[in-house]
Structure 1
């Protein structure tokens, strides 16, 4: 996706997050609602997490290194105000910058501003979904192209960089196929972790569904019951048990 598309997504999903924060602050009991499929998280904790992430990344971009996360705390203002201010800060920090511009990042091979443009857009996308679901809204749809990009990020960053040995196996294969977008993935479980390629072929298990449903499944927000599954269902169950994004 392009930098303007990432910027648009960050701002649009950030606005929806902020809308939930404002409404929850007017109904304090909603702050305590659990976030579906995120054990231990409340809506209040989720909004605080997002405000902290926006602050951490904007601060780190400003000095081109990771700042001390322990130094980041809610200022003396309502949580919705902190989130609004932090969101404005991260969108301003990324807006209009070239994706190829060098920058510190978590990814050893993607030390660019583009890494953060993508990461922040996907962070806002998935946590906007979480927040709306926790508040009691029907979450707004996720565009198929954005969902495909969110799935790609799991396979390009979260698993190989953050959880490199998770979901190891002995050659078992899973095929994921989006029905409403150009997105197909073949996952091979190897003794040292997973290998992923964009391909179409027969595998031990296959799951078909909308890009949004595949995204929610891969990110642990949905279940295989939302998908058309063929072959060895236990491999899809293993993913849900072992993968935490």
Structure 2
């Protein structure tokens, strides 16, 4: 069934598989110690191990149906590149099969709150965006042009990071979450990103201790604005550098933008 405004379960799984395939291909060509420009301090092997750990964790969550205790999922910490590449192929295939078998509406533990929480569909959505962003990281290792995001995924990704990540209750109660000033930011993707030509933007209201995200028309009124191609905006919100992601523009009340940046930084830790 899915949830209003989301892509379909099948779309998430297709994107997850495609981006995972591309990441595996790219990291198979990279030297293990090659730096990851989008993740300072990481090597290509660090990136690969991280993604393996994420997928392994989700497999265990889906199989057990609850939050996990340390030691209940396999970690790639000690794996060399060849072993980690094999594990990446194996564990992501297992995760895709589990998500397909369970469908979007099965009850499942997640840390996310709001519409769609506690479902396997939420994990399919999260893993599609995980695979997208880290596929971009792998492209940066080899200096390859970015492959486009699946249709509609970037617009959905902007919503996901603004609601489930930066808008998570644990983020909103963290030190620094109310830095800057209350107000609104329009993340304006114009006519790009959703495939229907209508365009739009996500309006983020940032009061003290809360955050709401609403789909509005491109050019709607706000205290501050981030504008650009939807894929560039999605990556920008995830902290990927402008020289990789493409042109985005910021304007308006700088103190309101400071608040949004503070919450995004906390969410990405």
| TM-score, length of structure 2 as denominator length | 0.79
Residues 1:189 and 2:206 aligned together: yes
| Equivalent residue in structure 2 for 1:9, among 15, 27, 40 | 15
- Closer, same or farther: CA 40–241 of 1 in aligned 2, 3 Å: farther
Query: What pairs with 1:34-183 in structure 2 (closer than 5 Å)?
Result: 34-71=35-72, 72-74=74-76, 78-109=83-114, 110-143=117-150, 145-161=152-168, 162-165=170-173, 167-168=177-178, 169-179=180-190, 180=192, 181=194, 182-183=199-200
- Closer, same or farther: CA 55–198 of 1 in aligned 2, 3 Å: same
SS at match of 1:198: strand
Q: Provide Cα deviations, 1:12-38, integer angstroms capped at 9, x if missing partner.
A: 0010111122212xxxxx322332342
Worse-superposed segment, 139-148 or 167-176: 167-176
Worse-superposed segment, 139-148 or 123-132: 139-148
For the Cα contact (< 8 Å) 1:56–1:69, is it kept in 2? no
Query: 1:80: how far off?
Result: 0.9
For the Cα contact (< 8 Å) 1:220–1:240, is it kept in 2? no
For the Cα contact (< 8 Å) 2:189–2:233, is it kept in 1? yes
Structure 1 residue runs without a partner (length 5+): 25-29
For the Cα contact (< 8 Å) 2:165–2:264, is it kept in 1? no
Off by >6 Å, runs of 4+ in structure 1: none
| Equivalent residue in structure 2 for 1:230, among 245, 251, 265 | 251
Q: Provide Cα deviations, 1:163-198, integer angstroms capped at 9, x if missing partner.
A: 224642443221111121344112222221433222
For the Cα contact (< 8 Å) 1:144–1:210, is it kept in 2? no
| TM-score, length of structure 1 as denominator length | 0.86
- Closer, same or farther: CA 236–142 of 1 in aligned 2, 3 Å: farther
SS at match of 1:87: helix
Query: 1:61: how far off?
Result: 0.6
For the Cα contact (< 8 Å) 2:184–2:223, is it kept in 1? yes
- Closer, same or farther: CA 202–183 of 1 in aligned 2, 3 Å: closer
Query: 1:98: how far off?
Result: 2.3
What is the distance in 2 between the residues matched to 1:11 and 1:81? 15
What is the distance in 2 between the residues matched to 1:217 and 1:19? 24
- Closer, same or farther: CA 123–205 of 1 in aligned 2, 3 Å: same
Query: 1:144: how far off?
Result: 5.1
